[in-house]
Amino acid sequence: MKWFGRGKKEETEEILVPTQENEITENIETPAEKPKKSFFAKLKEGLEKTRTAVFGRIDDVFFAFKSVDEELFEELEEVLITADIGVDTSVYIINELRRVSREKHITEPEMLKTELKDIIGKILSEQNTECNIDGSPAVIMVIGVNGVGKTTSIGKIANYYKHAGKKVLLAAADTFRAAAIDQLEIWAQRAGVEIVKHQEGSDPSAVVYDAIAAAKARGTDIVICDTAGRLHNKKHLMDELAKTARVIERETGKPASEVLLVLDASTGQNALIQAREFKNAASITGVVLTKLDGTAKGGVIIALCREQNIGVKFIGVGEGIDDLQKFDPQEFAGALFPEE
C-alpha cells in the first residue's frame, strides 16, 4: 500500500490508494516476454516519418547531383525549409555546409551528408540537455498549453526518475481544468510515486506549498509540479505561473530547478511560436518534445535549439510509460538520417 497525500489536512483527508501487486498463478505457463527495444531503436522507429518525408528527400538531392555546386546547396536549403526547420536555421545550416565544403575541398555530394549530420548534431549539442536535480528537494515546474501531453509527460518523467532511484512526489497544481487532478493521480499510481492534491478550483500555489512541505518532511528528492494549460494571451494565468514560481523560491531558498515547457512536435512551426511566447513570459530552462513518433515535423527540434536557445531535455517517441527519455543530441542527429 502507498499513501497519496491530498494536501492540507484541513482541506482534505489522506486516503489509501492500493498499488497493483504482481499476481502469481500456479500451473499456468506465462508467455515469454518480448525483448525490450533499446531507446535508440525506439528513436529510429519513432522518427521514421520525419526521416522518410524529409531526410529521405535530402538523400535524393545528394543522389541527383554529380558535383558540389550552388544549385545543390539551393536544393538542400529548400528541403530543410519545408522540414519545419524554418528559414533562419535552414539558411544557417546551408551556409555552414558551404563553408565546410570549401575548407575541406569536398567535391563529391555524398561526402556532404556526413558534414550535414555533424552540423545538425552540433546545433543540438550547443544547448544544455541535462536536467538540474541538485538539492533536496529539486522542484521541476512543467508548463504548456492544454493538449500537448503535459500531464502525461509529467507521469513519464516521474517514472524515469523513480527508476533512476529517486524519490518523487507530484503536485497537482493544474486545478483549473476538469479532471486534470484525476488524470495526474492515475499517472502517479502508474509510476508508483506520491501525489499532493487539493480540490478542483483550489489555489495552485497552495498545492505547491503543501507539496514542498511534504517533500521536506518525507525526504523526497524531486517534486514535479503540474500547472494549468496556459496561453500567452491569458495574462491572469501567466500571473499565476509567476506566483507559483515565487512560492517555490520562498520555500526552497532558490528558483525552480527546472522550468520545462512541453511542446507537441506534430504542430511544427506552431511549437516554435509557443516556445517564443512562453520564453517571453517565463524563465524556461528546457523543452519536453512529445509525439515525435506520429509526425514528419521532427525537424522543428533543430530550430528550437538554435533560434530559441532552449535545450531539449526529454523527448517522447511512443505512448508507453518508458517511451519518454532524456534527449541525446548525437543519437537524435544519427536517427534522422536514413541508413547507408
Q: How far apart are CA 197 and CA 201, in angstroms?
A: 11
Q: pLDDT value at position 286?
A: 94
Q: How far apart are CA 67 and CA 312, in angstroms?
A: 36
Q: What is the DSSP letter of 228?
A: -
Q: pLDDT value at position 334?
A: 79
Helix pair 56-64, 111-125: axis angle to 10 deg: 150
Tally Cβ neighbours within 10 Å of residue 167: 16
Q: What is the DSSP letter of 25?
A: -
Q: pLDDT value at position 113?
A: 86
Q: How far apart are CA 167 and CA 313, in angstroms?
A: 20
Q: Which of 152, 179, 122 is nearest to 262 (CA)?
A: 152
Q: Are 222 and 140 in contact (CB under 8 A)?
A: yes
Sheet with 138-143, edge to edge strand ranges: 194-196, 168-172, 222-226, 138-143, 258-264, 286-290, 312-316, 324-326
Question: In this structure, which amino acid lies at residue 314?
Answer: F
Which residues, other chains included, contact 287 with Cβ-Cβ below 8 Å and sequence gap of 6+? Answer: 260, 261, 262, 263, 275, 304, 310, 311, 312, 313
Cell of 66: 554529380
Give bridge partners of residue 224 from the DSSP assignment.
140, 170
Tally Cβ neighbours within 10 Å of residue 328: 18
Check: pTM over 0.75? Answer yes or no. Answer: yes
Cell of 331: 543519437
Q: pLDDT value at position 52?
A: 77
78 three-class SS: helix
Question: In this structure, which amino acid lies at residue 163?
Answer: H
For the chain, the straight-line distance linking the first and the last C-alpha, in angstroms and rounded, comes to: 52
Q: pLDDT value at position 35?
A: 54
Q: What is the pLDDT along the chain (340 residues), one digit of tens a residue?
A: 344 444 443 444 343 343 443 333 333 343 444 556 666 677 777 778 777 777 778 888 888 888 899 999 999 999 888 877 889 999 999 999 999 999 999 999 888 988 998 999 899 989 999 999 998 899 999 999 888 889 999 999 999 999 999 999 999 999 887 788 999 999 999 999 999 999 988 999 999 999 999 999 999 999 999 998 765 556 777 788 888 999 999 999 999 999 999 999 888 888 888 888 888 777 899 999 998 877 767 788 898 899 888 899 999 888 889 888 899 888 888 777 766 5
Tally Cβ neighbours within 10 Å of residue 326: 15
Tally Cβ neighbours within 10 Å of residue 81: 17
